[in-house]
């Protein structure tokens, strides 16, 4: 009879390889979520020195809505038209508080609704990465925390917006 000899180093190398690959995938998903969110979140969260005001939406096209801008912050000037990204939360005829992006032609919603809406891509990334963490890294508790955080962020954004 011949018995197979197993090397203890072979299985640990495979485990490390799986851990490294799945850890990299999970990290890349989370980095992409933060990157996608930060493009808008930086304007909403870091408002010092930025122009703040309100926009009354008067027209909506395929991907944008626009309307006149009324300043609320000192040094801000009224504008005939400011463009907002069109989403399910922006309706014609309503007035929204906004922060203007540098250049002054495009605005993003401010306040709790704007902050939560800006971080929605991170919520989705948390949900997606939780599957990788649970299945690839076999860390179910961490995965549940990630999934719960992502779901709470998305739910809060849905309720507030």
Query: Band of the pLDDT at 88, cuts 50, 70, 90?
Result: low
**What is the Cα–Cα distance from 47 to 111, expressed in whole angstroms?**
10
pLDDT (0 to 100) of residue 86:
77
pLDDT of residue 34 exceeding 60, the answer is yes
Rounded mean pLDDT, 44-73: 90
**Residue 141 pLDDT class (50, 70, 90 cuts):** very high
**88: helix, strand or coil:** coil
- pLDDT value for 26: 96
The alpha carbon dihedral of 151, 155, 157, 158 has a sign of positive
64 forms beta bridges with: 85
The Cα 152–Cα 146 span in angstroms is: 10
66 φ, ψ (degrees, to nearest 5) = -145, 165
Could you give the CA distance from residue 82 to residue 91 in angstroms, rounded to a whole number?
A: 14
Integer Cα distance of 76 and 69 in angstroms: 10
Mean pLDDT (whole number) for 149-155: 97
Residue 104: left if φ>0, alpha if ψ -120 to 50, beta else—which one?
left
């Amino acid at each position: 009879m011949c018995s197979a000899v197993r090397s203890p180093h072979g299985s640990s190398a495979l485990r490390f390889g799986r851990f490294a690959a799945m850890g990299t995938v999970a990290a890349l998903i989370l980095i992409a979520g933060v990157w996608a969110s930060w493009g808008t979140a930086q304007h909403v969260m870091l408002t010092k020195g930025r122009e703040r005001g309100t926009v009354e939406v008067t027209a909506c096209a395929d991907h944008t809505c626009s309307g006149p801008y009324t300043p609320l912050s000192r040094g801000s000037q009224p504008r005939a038209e400011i463009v907002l990204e069109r989403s399910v939360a922006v309706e014609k005829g309503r007035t929204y508080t906004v922060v203007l992006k540098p250049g002054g032609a495009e605005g993003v919603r401010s306040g709790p609704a704007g902050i939560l809406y800006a971080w929605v891509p991170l919520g989705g990334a948390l949900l997606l990465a939780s599957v990788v963490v649970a299945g690839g890294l076999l860390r179910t508790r961490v995965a549940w925390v990630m999934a719960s955080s992502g779901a709470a962020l998305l739910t809060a954004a849905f309720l507030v917006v």
